[in-house]
Structure 1
Amino acid sequence: MRHENPNTSQSLGADLRTLRKARGMTLQALADALGKSVGWLSQVERDKSEPSVSDLRAIGAALDVPISMLFGQSPAPVEEQGYVVRKGARRPIGSRVAGLVEELLSPDLTDDFEMVHSVFEPHSEVKETVIRPTQEVGYVISGKLDLWIGGRYFTIHPGDSFRIRGEPHRWMNPHDEPCVAIWVIAPPVY
């Protein structure tokens, strides 16, 4: 009988499989990186085995995601699981290092895309150019965001949207108020 851990998502295995595949890793490659067997990893991905916290740290490092991404959201009523994510139950993702606070709006990572709520703090920026094998669409709800996409510069205002197709990009919020945006990213990268 499997012991249920209230701190892990019921979709942890599916999320891990999606993240692994989005990075082009085989079961064998990830198992090797973790120093584990393919059988163990397969059981984790099928939610037949529960990884320890140290295993989750190693998985997060191997997949380049914060460990918080591997913990489930707050418990939801059974009828809402996999369908609804309440405001207080969003999973934090990414890193606050550059002044960016992100939360997963999607119930899990099992779709062909993920939806993210992003808050770009005032006077923050990512200094390094980012290139991901994704298609991304963003919509600014409030504040302003300066974007460089494929060598072009844009200031995005509330109500504006933008698209990034695997192009080099970076962002900056040199303004005095936070910028709040919604991003849809395919395939999921967090």
Structure 2
Amino acid sequence: PGQLLDSPEVSVVKFDAAPRVDLGGAGIIERLLTPRTQREIQIIHMSVEAHGHGEEEPYTMDCNIESIHVIKGSFVVKTSAEEFTLEAGDTLTFPGAEPHTWHNPTGDSAEVLWVLSGVS
């Protein structure tokens, strides 16, 4: 009976109030769109300047799965095995343990959603 009376946990993060985070790299503004306490999934909005980039050396994230969705512009993700050129509307998904790095290959800005699932 208690389950019927308990309200589900619901959170709203307003974009303008979303905390900035720093996952490394240059030419990026990153905002955490999910609550800081949420560990099952984290969504990060990235505004990437022209030629902005991640770390020089490939890195991994402490999560199960990563998905990258390009909202605007172009975005290149390089994994240990392949390089993926993504355009607006494209989504790339790979294991969090896969070494990778990325960059914006153009002179225009890009907007990207980075989704981390199963964050440790």
After the TM superposition, which segments of 4 or more aligned residues of structure 1 sit over 4 Å from their partners?
none
The structural deviation recorded for 1:111 is 3.5
Aligned counterparts of 1:98 and 1:107: Cα–Cα separation in 2: 24
Q: Of the candidates 62, 66, 78, which is equivalent to residue 148 of structure 1?
A: 78
Match of 1:117 among 33, 38, 45: 45
Q: TM-score, normalised by structure 2?
A: 0.80
Any unmatched runs of 5+ in structure 2? 1-8
Higher helix share: 1
Which one has more relative contact order, counting CA pairs under 8 Å at least 6 apart? Answer: 2
Residues in 2 aligned to 1:85 and 1:120: alpha-carbon distance in whole angstroms: 21
Distance 1:108 1:157 in 2: 29
User: Partner residue of 1:187?
Assistant: 118
Instruction: Assess, with a 3 A threshold, how the Cα gap between structure 1 residues 122 and 96 changes in structure 2: closer, same or farther.
Output: farther
Matched letter for residue 99 of structure 1: G
Looking at secondary structure, tell me which structure has more strand per residue: 2
What fraction of aligned residue pairs are identical, expressed as a percent? Answer: 27
User: Aligned-pair RMSD on alpha carbons?
Assistant: 2.0
Residue 92 (1) aligns with residue 23 (2): no
TM-score, length-scaled by structure 1 = 0.52
2:59 corresponds, among 130, 134, 154, to: 130
The whole-number CA distance in structure 1 between the counterparts of 2:92 and 2:25 is 24
1:30-64 deviation digits (Å, cap 9, x = unpaired) = xxxxxxxxxxxxxxxxxxxxxxxxxxxxxxxxxxx
Q: Is the partner of 2:45 in helix, strand or coil?
A: strand
Aligned residue pairs total 109
Output the CA distance in 2 between the equivalents of 1:88 and 1:182: 16
Cα distance between partner residues in 1 of 2:29 and 2:117? 20
Q: Given residue 148 of structure 1, which amino acid in structure 2 is its aligned partner?
A: K
